[in-house]
């Protein structure tokens, strides 16, 4: 048999073994997972003036930001998705959990729940997130978050009246471009937005309380 023909099977075997070893030794894609978590300061809250139930719908996230990988905006309109740094939960679910917990701790309502678990809530809170990214397009890094909140009041004819419709936007300066610093910035942006939302809801509830008194206790 020709020497070259004898050598060829061994040559391919060596190539296969080297390829397998390279695949085993190659490090896998490391992913770090994060959650946004904000803590409302503990204060002595007055009991809710009206026995209202608030249902919070899952926040909707704009296309392009509704993903677990962190989104970064760079110069010249470039956008990047960081597949090494992820949210642990989908952004809409994660942000909704924080909104519900904050409003529960604020004690503005008798109950704060999701729409599916309670029939006939007094108010319904909806939210839309148009932007949610890290901004590295300028000289300084920023965490950017915006939420559009809509509060609806179901009425007896089956329609809903708008109680509150307001846009909230926050940019928080970052000390560096690390993922941990970005999460800190997003947490701060979310905290400031929820403080403003709580203020607006308190004002709306005070209006309902005055209306209820004028109607002899009926809402």
Over the stretch 99-135, which tens digit does the pLDDT of each residue have? 999 999 999 999 999 877 667 899 999 999 999 999 9
Q: For the chain, list the domains and their CATH numbers.
A: 32-214 (3.40.50.10610)
Over the stretch 179-213, which tens digit does the pLDDT of each residue have? 999 999 999 999 999 999 999 999 988 876 666 55
pLDDT (0 to 100) of residue 63:
95
Query: Is pLDDT above 70 for 147?
Result: yes
Find the range with the poorest average confidence among 3-12, 36-45, 68-77. 3-12
Gyration radius of the chain over CA positions: 26
What is the chain's mean pLDDT, rounded?
84
Specify the higher pLDDT residue, 82 or 94.
94
Query: Is pLDDT above 50 for 35?
Result: yes
The conformational region for residue 37 under phi > 0 = left, psi -120 to 50 = alpha, else beta, is beta
Query: Is pLDDT above 90 for 42?
Result: no
pLDDT (0 to 100) of residue 169:
99
Give SS3 for 85: strand
Where does the pLDDT of residue 19 fall: very low under 50, low under 70, confident under 90, or very high at 90 and above? very low
Bridge-based pairing of strands 142-154 and 123-135 is antiparallel
Q: Residue 192 belongs to what H/E stretch?
A: helix 179-214
Supply φ then ψ for residue 90, to 5 degrees.
Answer: -55, 140
């Amino acid at each position: 048999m020709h020497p070259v023909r004898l050598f060829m099977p061994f040559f391919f075997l060596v190539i296969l073994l080297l390829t397998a070893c390279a695949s085993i030794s190659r490090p896998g894609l490391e992913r770090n997972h994060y959650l946004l978590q904000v803590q409302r300061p503990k204060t002595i809250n007055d009991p809710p003036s009206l026995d209202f139930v608030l249902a919070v719908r899952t926040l909707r996230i704009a296309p392009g930001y509704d993903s677990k990988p962190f989104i970064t905006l760079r110069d010249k309109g470039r956008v990047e998705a960081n597949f090494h740094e992820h949210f642990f939960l989908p952004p809409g679910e994660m942000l909704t959990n924080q909104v519900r917990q904050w409003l529960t701790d604020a004690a503005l309502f008798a109950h704060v729940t999701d729409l599916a678990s309670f029939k006939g809530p007094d108010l319904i809170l909806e939210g839309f997130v148009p932007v949610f990214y890290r901004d590295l397009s300028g000289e300084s890094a920023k965490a950017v978050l915006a939420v559009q909140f809509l509060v609806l009041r179901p009425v007896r004819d089956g329609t809903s009246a708008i109680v509150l419709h307001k846009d909230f936007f926050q940019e928080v300066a970052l000390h560096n471009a690390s993922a941990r610093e970005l999460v800190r910035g997003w947490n701060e942006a979310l905290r400031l937005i929820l403080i403003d939302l709580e203020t607006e809801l308190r004002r709306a509830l005070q209006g309902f309380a005055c209306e209820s008194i004028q109607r002899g206790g009926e809402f």
